[in-house]
Structure 1
């Protein structure tokens, strides 16, 4: 009996301290429209939906020379890390308590930061011209939903006769701890295509995945969790997860094969 009580106390302890950790950003666990096992997206929003919900979009422009970004000449001094689009969110840098998200509607109940919708729309339009139909399947999520989905996943594992500690461990490897997800600040989007609706590594080999990896920086987005950088980001490779940082920063990050963590560190050290 005493041993059982001790185990329960330990389980509760690990559950509480888990809020300081950040793991794989798997959007399959963040949407009612996504099947948790197969990660198949049943409802998404296309270019037509985005255009229908947003009129009079104004696009931003690059303010630094792309050639300068490629040569690496003093680009670090061109950035202000206090800018909204450069906010670093990970397990070491949870979302500030006073952060206010400026939400705009993508379609229906789907939202993201209103300031990124023009570039998102332009990117989807240009992809369409190249024969690629991009769809958004997981944009902004609030804290309560993140909490609910995290705890629901734990319960799902425990129904399979998995201990609480093991269920928590498995969940934390697939679902971001509430308060440390870029989706909660409205700057991250999970983007797939109309022909490949699974949130898995195979998306990287599709025409849509290759197009996004090659062109996302032209619209201010970066591939947030690239392959081979897992030790730096703390998150597994996710070819569908894109983060808005602005065209200037995105150009440098993608051209130089940096993560947002590496970019921020270099700017701070300049």
Structure 2
């Protein structure tokens, strides 16, 4: 499994503070615009886009809100800009708990999505208590997504609780994690915790 967690185009690739992308300026092939629930025109990997549409349809059918894709793929250059802005605004320690350094962001793989819902404040911890946030946390695994930065796991993931940030790993892996009660990819793959950058 170790080779899959380091293979940059694998669904199992681990990207965190201890495992940067190789190469750091990696740009995935087959990025597509998510065809629904996408007012901002976000792009992701093709397999992720299809899963988002299925998830969004079911969320709406269950009357838990209208899904919104807030963020998808981010290039190395865009991540560099976002990281610099956050660190300048609130300092390095706090900023790097919220925004990854360029080359260390899951968004750069095209497999990470920040979800929201129409008419709901998103990109805030309070999203976890909304109908949409509760539904996503409980049901996203059925569509191949895991809540990547769960509550109380900052010492493992290196990031503060982000109830909006989901990572596509495929239905089999997401279901296995759910059924076994494992909440982080680091624990699932028996990798060391990554609370800090190595340099």
> Which runs of 5 or more residues in structure 2 are unaligned?
192-199
Residue 261 of structure 1 is matched in structure 2 by 186
How many residue pairs get matched? Answer: 180
In 1: Cα distance, 2:94 partner to 2:17 partner: 17
After superposition, give the CA deviation of every residue in 1:49-90 in whole Å (9 maximum; x if it has no partner).
xxxxxxxxxxxxxxxxxxxxxxxxxxx8xx954571100000
Higher strand proportion? 2
In 2: Cα distance, 1:155 partner to 1:239 partner: 24
1:172-211 equivalence runs, <5 A: 172-211=96-135
Residue 33 of structure 2 is matched in structure 1 by 105
1:237-252 equivalence runs, <5 A: 237-252=161-176
Q: Say which structure, 1 or 2, has more relative contact order (CA 8 Å, 6+ apart).
A: 1
In 2: Cα distance, 1:232 partner to 1:257 partner: 16
Higher helix proportion? 1
- 1:128 equivalent to 2:60? Answer yes
After superposition, give the CA deviation of every residue in 1:15-62 in whole Å (9 maximum; x if it has no partner).
xxxxxxxxxxxxxxxxxxxxxxxxxxxxxxxxxxxxxxxxxxxxxxxx
In 1: Cα distance, 2:97 partner to 2:160 partner: 9
Cα–Cα, structure 1 residues 229 and 152, in superposed 2: closer, same or farther, change >3 Å?
A: closer
- 1:218 equivalent to 2:150? Answer no
User: Alignment partner for residue 83 of structure 2, among 150, 153, 174?
Assistant: 150
Larger radius of gyration: 1
Computed over aligned residues only, the root mean square deviation of the Cα atoms, in angstroms, reads 2.2
Cα–Cα, structure 1 residues 155 and 233, in superposed 2: closer, same or farther, change >3 Å?
A: closer
TM-score after normalising by structure 1: 0.61
In 2: Cα distance, 1:246 partner to 1:168 partner: 33
